[in-house]
C-alpha cells in the first residue's frame, strides 16, 4: 500500500515532465513461507520479529559469546555448525547479516551438500585443510572447487548447493558470514530422503534413477 502511495506521489511531483516508475527489489523472505491472513489476531510473527523501542536497547542485544568453543563433531557427518544469527543476537534484526563457526572432524568430517535459500556465504579457514565447492544451476551444473588452507577465503553464492570436506588429518575450523539475519539451511540429503512425511519412494526412484530398495534404505537412514 505504502509503495503504491509513493508511486502516486512520485507521479504527482513529476507530472510537469513525465511519470517515472521506479522498480524496487522485493525484500527476501525471512522464513520458508508466510501465508497471508486477514485477521492479525490469528497471526504470528516469525523471523521478522517485532522491534524493541530503540531507547531500551542495551549492549547485550548486540552480543554473543562462545564462538571460541568448538562444536562436538561426533556425529554421522563429522561436523558441527554453531550459528550466530538473529536467534542468538536480537540486534541483528533487519540488518541482513549473520555468522557461523564450523568445526570438522579430522579425515573426512564434512558439512554435507546444502544450500542457504536467503544468503550468500563468505568463509574463512582458520585451521586445517578443506576441499570446498559449489555447483552452478541448470543446465550447466558446473562444479567449482578449491582446496583451502588457513587464511584462505571462499564464497558460496546465494542459493547454490555447496559443501566443505576436511581432507586433512587434523580437526579443521572455519568461520563464515552470511548475507541474511537468518539465511536458512536446506541439507540436500535430509530434505530429499529425510522429509517428514516421506516423499513417495517411486518419485525418488525415478528422479535419482535408483533401485527402489536403495531409496527406501536411504529413507530409513535419515
Residues that bind ligand NAG (CB under 6 A): 71-72, 74-75, 80
Q: How far is the CB of 51 from ligand NAG (least distance, A)?
A: 30
Residue 153: phi and psi, rounded to 5, are -125, 140
Alpha helices, DSSP H, located in the chain: 2-13, 188-193, 201-207, 212-221
Distances (CA, A) of 209 to 72, 190, 206: 35, 18, 5
Determine if residue 116 is labeled as part of a ligand binding site.
Answer: yes
Determine if residue 5 is labeled as part of a ligand binding site.
Answer: no
Q: How far is the CB of 194 from ligand NAG (least distance, A)?
A: 14
Compute the distance between CA of residue 41 and CA of residue 44 in angstroms, rounded to an integer: 8
Nearer to ligand NAG, 69 or 146 (CB): 69
Determine if residue 217 is labeled as part of a ligand binding site.
Answer: no
Compute the distance between CA of residue 134 and CA of residue 162 in angstroms, rounded to an integer: 4
Nearer to ligand NAG, 109 or 119 (CB): 109
Q: How far is the CB of 76 from ligand NAG (least distance, A)?
A: 9
Distances (CA, A) of 86 to 16, 114, 156: 46, 20, 21
Nearer to ligand NAG, 104 or 134 (CB): 104
Nearer to ligand NAG, 3 or 66 (CB): 66
Which residues are known binding-site members?
A: 111, 114, 116, 121, 162
Amino acid at each position: 500500500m505504502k509503495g503504491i502511495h509513493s508511486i502516486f506521489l512520485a507521479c504527482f511531483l513529476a507530472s510537469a515532465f513525465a511519470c517515472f516508475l521506479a522498480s524496487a527489489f522485493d525484500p527476501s523472505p525471512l522464513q520458508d513461507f508466510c501465508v497471508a491472513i486477514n485477521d492479525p489476531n490469528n497471526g504470528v510473527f516469525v523471523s521478522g520479529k517485532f522491534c524493541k523501542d530503540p531507547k531500551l536497547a542495551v549492549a547485550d542485544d548486540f552480543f554473543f559469546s562462545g564462538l571460541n568453543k568448538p562444536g562436538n563433531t561426533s556425529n554421522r557427518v563429522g561436523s558441527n555448525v554453531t550459528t550466530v544469527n538473529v536467534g542468538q543476537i536480537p540486534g541483528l534484526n533487519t540488518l541482513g547479516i549473520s555468522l557461523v563457526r564450523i568445526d570438522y572432524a579430522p579425515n573426512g568430517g564434512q558439512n554435507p551438500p546444502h544450500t542457504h535459500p536467503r544468503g550468500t556465504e563468505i568463509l574463512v579457514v582458520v585451521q586445517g585443510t578443506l576441499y570446498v565447492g559449489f555447483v552452478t544451476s541448470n543446465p550447466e551444473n558446473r562444479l567449482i572447487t578449491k582446496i583451502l588452507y588457513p587464511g584462505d577465503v571462499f564464497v558460496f553464492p546465494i542459493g547454490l548447493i555447496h559443501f566443505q570436506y576436511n581432507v586433512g588429518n587434523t580437526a579443521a575450523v572455519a568461520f563464515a558470514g552470511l548475507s541474511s539475519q537468518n539465511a536458512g539451511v536446506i541439507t540436500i540429503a535430509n530434505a530429499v530422503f529425510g522429509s517428514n512425511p516421506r516423499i513417495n519412494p517411486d518419485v525418488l526412484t525415478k528422479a535419482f534413477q535408483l533401485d527402489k530398495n536403495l531409496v527406501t534404505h536411504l529413507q530409513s537412514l535419515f
